[in-house]
Chains A and B, each alone.
Chain A
Amino acid sequence: MAKFKFLYLDDESDETTAAIADGLKINDIIDVIPEEPKIFKDEIANLKNRLNDFDGLILDLRLDGKKLDIAYNAPAIAQELRMIAAEGGIKSIPIVLCSTDAKMRATYEVEKICHEHFDYKFTKQDSPPWGKFATKLAALAKGYQFISDTGFNIPKILNREDLSTLDPRVLETFNGIENSLPIYDYASFVIKDLFHQPGVLIKEKLLAARLGIDISKSNDWQKLSQEFFSKAVYSGVFSDGWQRWWSDIAINIFKEASKGKRLSMLNAADRVKILIEISGLKNLVAATPLEYNKSTNFWTVCEFYKAPLDPLEGFKIHATIQPKAWQEDRYISFLAASSKKGPKPHSSELNRIQSIKDELSKK
């Protein structure tokens, strides 16, 4: 199969951009052609002419660096291209943001612009995981084409026939529309609403937490998650780049196989005991709580330690982009919050954190 071709605009030195382009070619699934940006008007004209030959575009956050005297940056060009694509002026392709870590620190502005215009962002860090970045970029290029090939059919895009059991608000944007929306809207919905925020789809560590399992100690985890829970594995658009499970299907698989037992009502030891019985997989070990925590009724993960957590013992985190009503909150543990590690807790949680600290200091 032909490699996906990405155009890469960056104003850094030729050596730096070439190193990045080479890095992204690591597993030979994408081709990256680096280029210096031109002045805005010329660049737009250039892209309008040439983007049809590409499967994706990578933009450095700051195109107005020292080397060239260019008074615009990546969001401006991304926004313009999204508009032209929506009007049918160019083919719709994924747009990816990259920059050095310092420039792209999770500031409100960067979070917001990334959320609005880009499909993915990666940082130019020391020894970057090029393979992971390239896999995501290839999945994006393939996915954009796939969305269009399905005729914008949501069950086909998500590769799930029965969507009636989902919260109806999840797909409300796409219900009853006369004309299909721009491809970016579908891509953005899947990546930002389904992949990035827990709720309908969950990541591996969250699945493990809900099943009460310690992945590092469970040799049968791969078999359990991929085979026993195979029907819950997400196989829709972009699944080559993002591994996720349908939360509701996983819960139902457990319920049906255990003849009505519910994960939410069991502690980790009981969940694992039942999982061993129903799956026949022996090498599964129950997860234990983080320091300061007592409960093993895990239903979420600590966003800093990525370890199972009972939401009752966790603290909601502050989020730049507010979760939608049908999405779940994300949490950090007391261990992370008390040592100020990881994401900031939500302001409504500060009193509770303080009162636990006060109590501990009395002991």
Chain B
Amino acid sequence: MSVSKHTMHFRESRASELELIAKLLNKTGSINSYPIFNAINQLKNPNYIPTLKDGSVNPECWGYEIEDFIIPVETLKHIKPDGIKNVELILNMKIVANYKEWKTLSDPLCDLNFKVVIRGVGEQPCYSGFHIDKHFDGEMSIEPHPIYHLQYSSNPYKEEGFDYGRTLSLDTPRIMHYPMDFILGIGFLTSNYSPSIFYNLLDDGTFTNLYREYQERIWKPFSHSLADHWAFNKGDIVWKPTATLCPYLI
């Protein structure tokens, strides 16, 4: 199974965008962008065809995996347990998408696994985390799942014998979310956990251009399709600007 020239060309463009975001993140001075280079190599490597959840491969699909990408966490104002001074966020993710859907309004991704672990050390190492997943129709579950959902977990590594303290742990709601690649993820994670890095990035036109482009390619199809649930006229929309709805939608 070989990847067409056209697909490779597309993949190389995505790789160069990841190179750009790696460079921008380095400039912040507090993030090591090395884990991104694995994804860049996968995109550039014609022998790498990402595997879909059902085990199949499609040479029209592009995608990448990023392992152990770390962002320092600044938002420690309400942290518990007391005594934790230093917290980091660890992202592990995988996306698969069909390049033919890049500029359409259909589902932009074939597969998404965006796992975040937040880790701090006080009297003992403490964790929390969440993931953003794509749910498959074929997957069995009792609860109805929004196709893209965000779900929290207090024991993200699923450690046996985990000390839950007085936290009552059970399945948390699967909150509907827009699909998220790495570039959208950077906006989401830094704005929530390291706002100074986010503002720093927002001051850089290279970042905002890139971020806007990915919002258009990956977020827009989701929001347009959702909005299409109800008939509406664009001219009737008065709830503006959209930044009042979400500060990291730019």
Contacts and interface: CB of A to CB of B under 8 A. Distances in A.
Contact of A312 (B26, B38, B68, B86): B86
Contacts of A313: 86, 121
A356 B85 CA distance: 8
A355 interface: yes
Contacts of A42: none
A356 B121 CA distance: 13
Interface in B54-102: 67-68, 83, 85-88, 90
A165 interface: yes
Contact of A267 (B34, B117, B125): B125
B90 A264 contact: yes
Contacts of B174: none
Nearest to B124: A294
Contacts of B34: 167, 326
Contacts of B124: 294-295
A296 to B, nearest CB: 8
Secondary structure of the B side of the interface? mixed
B162 to A, nearest CB: 12
Nearest to A323: B32
Contact of B85 (A164, A296, A297, A355): A355
Interface string B150-180: 0000000100000000000000000000000
A294 B81 CA distance: 14
B119 A312 contact: yes
Contacts of B122: 294
B86 A352 contact: yes
Given A262-B67, A264-B90, A325-B26, A312 B121 contact: yes
B121 A310 contact: yes
- Of the candidates B33, B88, B119, B125, the one having the most CB atoms from chain A within 10 angstroms of its own CB is B125
B37 interface: yes
A328 interface: yes
Contacts of B123: 294
Contacts of B87: 312
A291 interface: no
Contacts of B88: 311-312
A129 interface: no
Interface of A: 164-168, 262, 264-265, 267, 293-297, 310-313, 325-326, 328, 352, 355-356, 359
Pairs of residues from A and B, 5 with the lowest C-beta to C-beta distance, nearest first: A295-B121, A325-B26, A295-B125, A167-B34, A312-B86
19 contacts: A164-B45, A166-B37, A167-B37, A264-B90, A265-B157, A267-B125, A294-B123, A294-B125, A296-B125, A311-B88, A312-B119, A312-B121, A313-B86, A325-B26, A325-B33, A326-B32, A352-B86, A356-B85, A359-B83
Given A167-B34, A297-B119, A312-B87, 6 more contacts: A167-B37, A265-B117, A311-B88, A325-B26, A325-B32, A359-B83
Interface of B: 26, 32-34, 37-38, 40-41, 45, 67-68, 83, 85-88, 90, 117, 119-125, 157
